[in-house]
């Protein structure tokens, strides 16, 4: 398949943009990762499944603490965050403002 046609077709699949935030076991280090695969797995108890890169610091923090928050990124904020994400500045940007994102962390 033509690469441009493949990209065009794949970009038509709707998806959300989310930021998964977490802290280490000591609570003194924050990490964030963009994720685009989040799904509800149960109403009772309320559970979600999230796709996180297995060899990432984010994955290790979640595995160690079982604590994370999924932040839903709105459409207008996506356009602001896209250049930051594509230039690998995202974690530094998001963690710099982590106090604003950890007000209501969920333990799942």
pLDDT at 62 over 90: yes
Model confidence at 95: pLDDT above 80: no
- CB–CB of 98/33 below 8 Å? no
Segment 3-42, tens digit of pLDDT: 888 888 877 776 777 888 888 999 888 888 888 788 888 8
How far is 105 from 69, CA to CA, in rounded Å? Answer: 5
| Rounded alpha-carbon distances, angstroms, from residue 101 to 10, 17, 31, 37, 42 | 31, 16, 11, 20, 25
Q: Could you tell me the pTM of the whole model?
A: 0.65
Q: Helix-strand-coil percent breakdown of the chain, rounded to 5? A: 40, 25, 35
């Amino acid at each position: 398949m033509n690469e441009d046609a493949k990209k065009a077709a794949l970009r038509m699949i709707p998806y959300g943009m989310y930021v998964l935030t977490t802290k280490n076991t000591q609570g003194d280090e924050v990490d964030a990762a963009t994720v685009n695969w989040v799904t509800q797995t149960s109403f009772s108890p309320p559970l979600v499944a999230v796709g996180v890169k297995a060899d990432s610091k984010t994955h290790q923090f979640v595995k160690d603490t079982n604590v994370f928050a999924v932040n839903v990124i709105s459409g207008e904020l996506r356009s602001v965050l896209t250049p930051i994400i594509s230039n690998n500045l995202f974690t530094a940007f998001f963690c710099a403002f982590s106090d604003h994102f950890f007000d209501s962390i969920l333990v799942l």
